[in-house]
Amino acid sequence: MENNRVGNWHSFVTAMGAEMGLLPRSLRARIATLFGLLAFLVGVPSYFYTSHLYLQQLSSDRRERLQVIASSAATIVGQSLVERRREVALLAESPLLKTEDLGSSNIRNSLELLRLSQTHYSWIGVADIQGTVTASTSGHLNGQSVQARPWFQNGLDHVFVGDLHEAVLLAKLLAPGQAGQPLRFIDFAAPIRGPSGELRGVIGAHAHWRWANEVMALAADTSTTKESSNMFIVNKLGKVIYPSDGPQPNSVPAGNLDALDFHAWEDGGEYLTVAAKIPEPTPESPLGWKIYVRYPKSMVIAAVANLQQVEFLASLIAGITFLMFAWICADRISRPLEQLSDIARRIQSGQEAQKFDVQSTSTEIVHLQSALSDMSGTLVARKAALERSNHELEARVLARTAELETANRALERLAKTDTLTGLPNRLASNEVLHYEFAQMKRGKQAYSVLLADIDSFKAINDTWGHPAGDLVLKHVAGVLRGALRETDFVGRVGGEEFLMILPMTDHNTALQVAEKVRAAVEASPVKPVPRVTISIGLEQAYSAQKDEQEAVASADEWLYQAKQRGRNRIESLWT
């Protein structure tokens, strides 16, 4: 029925064209003309449809790459914020701040040394509970009240990370930013508590916003593309806070960024845009920051334009070839053509194993027969090639997925490794502690915890400099790895603190291991420091403890006792 309709329509168009004088009288020219019109009507929509599909696929692939970049950058920025928060929290727990007068020279000297070693801090200060600054770097704000500042108000209660803001009290005391730009800080604060837990004051640190340039440069190094020039940090109000130099948009486009659409930005132009939420450094004061990555629409369109040029030339060549073929095969319409048509229909129905065995003395029919036979073989070959192409595409997708998984694993390793010593960091140490505690709760043998601290490490830094201090840290880390058993774990959990976990080890055995470790460190000095020793606090975990941190806290108390009793020794419940 459908074939009859097509045939009737073709006859109607041919008859109308002949009546109106639109078609030539020559049958060959008439068929060539009709085939030319058909090629145009099919080719032009196919041309635009193919271009549209390619644009959609290219946009989808590019968006996936941008999403990977945004997620990686968000993880790096979030981890950096957590590290800064942890530094301030650990500083608030230092014995110096817990016991000494908050305005003492020791505290002032300690703050100055910290600021010199951590260049991203522009100001570090200590305020008493009334909000009066008692000690600070360079003496800035000493004696002034910071009671109204958010970092002080929040720092009285919990570890605080504040949103980006311009300098207020320090604006006239510190050197101006680049190109006359206003100083902008991120606030970090933590409560200072005495040995009995009473609130003594607040320590606050202002990190200069140029820290963002260093972090984003690290994020750009982790990607293999050049989209870093189009990466932005956006706060919870939708305002762009990075980059801060040069002409930049003030805000980001609203709407659904998950759709494969190009979004208009206020600085002009349309872009593929993706966003990734930066992990919060502290739940008490969420920042709501996001990483935005964009890619210009013009670059996507340029890639499509290249394909369109190639496709147009290919279509033009194919069209010319098609017309020539129609001109040759249209000379005679007879039974051989009907037979060839029947064979072609059988092939179209799926019977591909057909031979064009038509007997004819006409050269044109012979040529047509040969051409149809070649066309059939080409279609079969293209079908096989298409199947191979599908398999290759699946293989590429699997390979890309494997690369992404490898990148994620590398990022996870980076997040759990101390970059200076190569040891596991606090995050990795907490995971091992949690695992051993869970094993003990299931009825397995108890484990022991050793908390070691390098003796007089501040004096080492003050006497031989921070490079020598770094050498000592790496040297002690290597000695600890070598002195422990294969089943033991060691990680760096603080500035000069190391946590050792001894699975299935009772107190007596742990004491032997601790003595071996202490002696190994004492017996292996590192130049230029003539003598390096450590103090160790030992605690055996037991099932009555509520969590894994109780044993660590006890070990920390024994470590404090070891420091008080002369250093270079081991203290525990039974020593």
* CB-CB contact of 79 with 415 (8 Å): yes
Number of domains observed in the structure of the chain? 3
Average the pLDDT over 314-336 and give the result: 70
Say yes or no: 338 and 312 in one domain: no
Is residue 212, in this structure, part of any structural domain at all?
yes
Say yes or no: 400 and 538 in one domain: no
What pLDDT, on a 0 to 100 scale, did the predictor assign at position 9? 45
CA dihedral over 331, 336, 342, 347, signed as positive or negative: negative
Highest-confidence segment of 94-98, 254-258, 397-401 = 94-98
Say yes or no: 317 and 336 in one domain: no
Say yes or no: 317 and 342 in one domain: no
Say yes or no: 323 and 338 in one domain: no
Say yes or no: 181 and 282 in one domain: yes
Say yes or no: 385 and 435 in one domain: no
Q: Among 292, 307, 331, where does a domain finish?
A: 331
* CB-CB contact of 555 with 451 (8 Å): yes
Segment 181-214, tens digit of pLDDT: 678 889 999 999 999 989 999 999 988 888 777 7
Mean pLDDT score of the chain? 82
Is residue 419, in this structure, part of any structural domain at all?
no
Residue 142 — pLDDT band, cuts 50, 70, 90?
very high
Q: Among 263, 298, 331, where does a domain finish?
A: 331
DSSP string, 497-517: EEEEEETT--HHHHHHHHHHH
Say which CATH number the domain at 491 has: 3.30.70.270
Is residue 421, in this structure, part of any structural domain at all?
no
As given in the structure block, the two tokens for residue 82 are 């957590």
Say yes or no: 327 and 337 in one domain: no
- Residue 501 domain boundaries: 426-571
**Is the pLDDT reported for residue 125 higher than 90?**
yes
Q: Among 389, 412, 435, where does a domain finish?
A: 412
Say yes or no: 475 and 554 in one domain: yes
Say yes or no: 351 and 268 in one domain: no
Is residue 293, in this structure, part of any structural domain at all?
yes
Say yes or no: 310 and 380 in one domain: no
Segment 409-437, tens digit of pLDDT: 766 677 789 999 999 999 999 999 999 99
Say yes or no: 306 and 382 in one domain: no
Say which CATH number the domain at 122 has: 3.30.450.20
Segment 69-121, tens digit of pLDDT: 888 888 888 888 889 899 999 999 999 989 999 999 998 998 889 888 888 88
Average the pLDDT over 159-165 and give the result: 89
Burial class (CB in 10 A: 0-12, 13-18, 19+), 459: exposed
Is residue 13, in this structure, part of any structural domain at all?
no
Report d(CA 107, CA 14) in Å as an integer.
Answer: 100
Is residue 436, in this structure, part of any structural domain at all?
yes
**Is the pLDDT reported for residue 13 higher than 50?**
no
Residue 473 — pLDDT band, cuts 50, 70, 90?
very high
